[in-house]
Amino acid sequence: MQLRLDFLTSDRLPLLFCLIAFLLTFLVTRTIVRYIRSHADSDAPRRWWQPRNISAAGGTHIHHVVIGVVLVLLSGLTMVTLTINGGVPEMTVAATVFGIGAALVLDEFALILHLSDVYWSEDGRTSVDAVFAAVAVAGLLILGFNPLSFFDVGIWEHDHTLAARASVIALAALTLALAVVVLFKGKVWTGLVGMFITPLLFVGALRLSRPHAPWARWRYTSRPRKMHRALERERRLRRPVVQAKLWLQHVIAGEPHFPDDAQVDEQLDREIHAAPAPESQAVGV
């Protein structure tokens, strides 16, 4: 069986190298940070090759997101300049640097979001979610999927009548409206991938909302049976994800074992909750 790489055209090489650089940088960064944390309490003198935190004058800790922002700005400015007369090799180099910088930024995305160093806390999981989302988008682009692909339909290119153009615009508006509904229901992944594969948006818009999402806050707080269904569905779908996450944490910690049910239930209790009622309902208005 021969692997076909027809989708890997030369114009997608910069994106491919960007994705590879992004993944490698994220993995290396996480490994280094974990190594530094595990040796933080050691009194043994550090050797020159051992990773350590970067500090400025006065002992100010420099987070690697700062380095990432600098690399993203420099590579972004370079790519904007290269769009005029740049070739694929130059764009590939700039895209690789951009991938490195983007990984450093998104690895501490939770720090930017919360304006607090929550790297190892539960809120720090936002950084990992942001990285997975970026990888998913880049992978879909490399495979040839285009966001908002309804603008590429043949009717738009070949039929310039008002009715044809109006139908495409109506389809675009419908798709964007579905994407908004899906996001309000807390289904970020469905909304993200659905922008590339439109039928997923219809599925996400028709299915129950996640219990903590804005849609559940507006629509389910006065409908306890529907909120209960949403909570039960969330626990059922999140359970294997939580099990895999806890198992991976044990493996990284050097204690590989499958988490027991009590530990999984405890984690689910922390993660899954019903959205609070809107203020108008809370005060009985």
Has residue 143 got a pLDDT over 50?
yes
Band of the pLDDT at 5, cuts 50, 70, 90?
low
Q: Could you report the per-residue pLDDT of 217-260, keeping only the tens digit for each?
A: 888 988 889 999 999 998 998 888 888 877 876 675 556 778 88
Band of the pLDDT at 70, cuts 50, 70, 90?
very high
CB 61 within 8 A of CB 53: yes
What is the mean pLDDT of the segment spanning 9-38?
84
Band of the pLDDT at 126, cuts 50, 70, 90?
low
Band of the pLDDT at 285, cuts 50, 70, 90?
very low
Band of the pLDDT at 2, cuts 50, 70, 90?
very low
Q: Could you report the per-residue pLDDT of 178-190, keeping only the tens digit for each?
A: 888 988 888 877 8
pLDDT (0 to 100) of residue 107: 84
- The answer to which of 70-74, 167-171, 173-177, 233-237 has the lowest mean pLDDT is 167-171
Q: Considering the entire predicted model, what is its pTM? A: 0.60
What is the mean pLDDT of the segment spanning 29-38?
81
pLDDT (0 to 100) of residue 229: 92
- The answer to which of 16-30, 32-46, 80-94 has the lowest mean pLDDT is 32-46
SS3 of the chain: the string is: CCCCCCCCCHHHHHHHHHHHHHHHHHHHHHHHHHHHHHCCCCCCCCCCCCCCCCECCCCCECCHHHHHHHHHHHHHHHHHHHHHHCCHHHHHHHHHHHHHHHHHHHHCHHHHHHCCCCCCCHHHHHHHHHHHHHHHHHHHHHCCCCCCHHHHCHHHHHCCCHHHHHHHHHHHHHHHHHHHHHHHCCCHHHHHHHCCCCHHHHHHHHCCCCCCCHHHHHHCCCCHHHHHHHHHHHHHHHHHHHHHHHHHHHHHCCCCCCCCHHHHHHHHHHHCCCCCCCHHHHCCC
Percent of the chain with pLDDT over 70: 77
Q: Which residue has the higher pLDDT, 41 or 262?
A: 262
pLDDT (0 to 100) of residue 146: 67
Average pLDDT, the chain: 79
CB 211 within 8 A of CB 273: yes
Has residue 25 got a pLDDT over 90?
yes
Band of the pLDDT at 113, cuts 50, 70, 90?
low
Has residue 159 got a pLDDT over 90?
no
Q: Which residue has the higher pLDDT, 282 or 187?
A: 187
pLDDT (0 to 100) of residue 206: 92
Has residue 273 got a pLDDT over 70?
yes
* Nearest by Cα to 209 from 194, 224, 220, 198: 220
- The answer to which of 54-68, 90-104, 113-127 has the lowest mean pLDDT is 113-127
Domain segments of the chain: what residues?
1-144, 146-207, 214-282
